Structure 1
Amino acid sequence: MHKYFTIFKDSYYGYFNYLWSEITTFHWENYFYGLIVVSLLVWGLEILFPWRKNQKIFRKDFWLDTFYMFFNFFLLNLIVLIFLSNATAQLFNDFLGLINLQLSDFQIVNLNALPYGLGLLVFFLVTDFVQWNTHILLHRVPFLWNFHKLHHSVTEMGFAAHLRYHWMEPIVYKSILYIPLAIIGGFDVEAVAIVHFSALTIGHLNHANLGWDYGILKYIFNNPKMHIWHHVKELPENTEYGINYGISLSVWDYIFNTHHVPYDGRDIELGFEDDHEFPLEFTDQIIYPVKKKRSKSA
């Protein structure tokens, strides 16, 4: 237990120092100011090239979603994710030790040994494919769907809706991604930052009030015209669990036939069945899955 208390203490102390450093210093891979810059740029594109002309600049839930952006990207890590991530890694390593294995025994390729561009591409493809599959789980598993409903409670799309999600989601994503990343080996901080900001920018654009599909590149990259159908309230027939699951890439949806863009979806109704019962306030939204579970068992 002393080992895990040390992990707890070091996790919070280390992350607090990291966060303070991010706020007080500026460097190109700075996640704090990077989030602000990317958000302002995509918001500027929304203002200059609005797809839904009648949608207000400060749309419905704009400030709530902005709060979610900073809460999920920074405060959430400080509150829970860093310790859970470090503790999970230690638990997994302890388990492997019981059977005389190490995490490095699972590694089949070292990305740092590959040419830089190729290693970066493999890292991006693996992480995006695992996240695409995880996203499907969030829709297909009722327990997980109750958490994911928060993201689908958005009824007016805008860039900040990208990071409107329940704190449980990154725990699921990171837990499932842990083994695949171990298999392909570690990657340097600079490369991780490139993938991070690429995914952040694509995600912001996907949720923005923009009518873009990138032409022929729509078969590779997720885009606003495709992703809005992921949020459609009334799903098409034979798609009980959802459509267009792509995170950064759309290619997985085209390969596995989960794509659906029947027409220009600019004015389609967004949400999910019975979304009128979903709470409107932050605190109520966070505890919604627990209350939902209790009401079912009552």
Structure 2
Amino acid sequence: MEKYIEIIKKSYSGYWNYLETEILFQNNWDNYFYGLIIVSFLVWMLEIAFPWRKDQSKFRKDFWLDVFYMFFNFFLLNLIVLIALSNTAAAFFNDILNVIGLSISSFQVFDIDALPKALGLIIFFLVSDFTQWNTHRLLHRIPFLWNFHKVHHSVKEMGFAAHLRYHWMEPVVYKSLLYIPIAVIGGFDAQDVAIIHFFALAVGHLNHANLGWDYGVLKYIFNNPKMHIWHHAKDLPDHKKYGANFGLTLSIWDYIFKTNHIPKDGRDIELGFEGDEDFPQDFIQQEIYPIKLKK
């Protein structure tokens, strides 16, 4: 137990030092804090220059709530729970494997670092995105998880910042299910991962933005605003009652596994979910909603 307490302490102090350096001192290209600000500002400018829903305000409904979620989930959430939880869970999992004479390296199929960099990045990206696509499906399919995912689907007007409106439990689920697949493909360089990270961030922002783009023939590969708005549709046919268009960055998984759904232009469709008129409107109440619901 003392080992895990020490891991938690080091996680908090280490991440705080990282966050302080990230905001105040670091000026590298892979700076996550300023990277988020730059990507968000650029996509917001695209929304203003090329609005799909022209009558939607630049400061749409819940704009500032979503901006708060964006910074909370991207930085403060890691400080409060995720880093310590992830490090402790990884150590606990490794200890269990050690008891039965295994280690995480036992699952490693190959080492990305041994491959050409471009190929390694593509494999890492595909494995990560496919795992997250499946995790996203579970968030819709399992009632317990859906109650947390409702926070994201409570968005009533789409905009770039809606991308990072989600309950803190979601990244716990995503990171937990992603742990083994990433371990299977071995090590990777942090700066290389930053390339994938910023690309996924930009695509995710664009998917939620007030933009009427589908990227032409590339829509069958990359998720896009015209596709993703149907993921947020309030009314879906019975055969899609658990949702559709689950892709985060790539749309190809939805086309392969027949979970795609774009019946018509979705510019003006109603967003949300059944019963969302009773869903809390403020951050605190949205965060405790699943706990209150369980009671």
> What TM-score, normalized by structure 2, do the two folds share?
0.99
Gaps of 5+ in 1: none
Match of residue 6 from structure 1: 6
Deviation at residue 237 of structure 1 after TM alignment: 2.8
Alignment of 1:105-184 (within 5 A): 105-184=106-185
Match of residue 94 from structure 2: 93
- Which amino acid is 1:132 matched to? W
Deviation at residue 186 of structure 1 after TM alignment: 1.5
Separation of aligned partners in 2, 1:270 and 1:234: 8
Match of residue 218 from structure 2: 217
Q: Provide Cα deviations, 1:98-147, integer angstroms capped at 9, x if missing partner.
A: 01111111100111111111100000000000000000000000000000
The answer to which of 232-241 and 57-66 deviates more is 232-241
Alignment of 1:42-81 (within 5 A): 42-81=43-82
- Which amino acid is 1:31 matched to? Y
Q: Provide Cα deviations, 1:137-170, integer angstroms capped at 9, x if missing partner.
A: 0000000000000000000000000000000000
SS at the partner of 1:238? helix
Match of residue 240 from structure 1: 241
Match of residue 251 from structure 2: 250
Runs of 4+ in 1 over 4 A off after TM superposition: none
- Which amino acid is 2:36 matched to? L
Give the alignment's Cα RMSD to 1 decimal.
Answer: 0.5
SS at the partner of 2:247? coil
Separation of aligned partners in 2, 1:184 and 1:216: 30
- Which amino acid is 2:19 matched to? L
Separation of aligned partners in 2, 1:214 and 1:142: 34
Separation of aligned partners in 2, 1:203 and 1:94: 36
Separation of aligned partners in 2, 1:210 and 1:34: 21
> What TM-score, normalized by structure 1, do the two folds share?
0.98
Separation of aligned partners in 2, 1:23 and 1:84: 23
SS at the partner of 2:240? coil
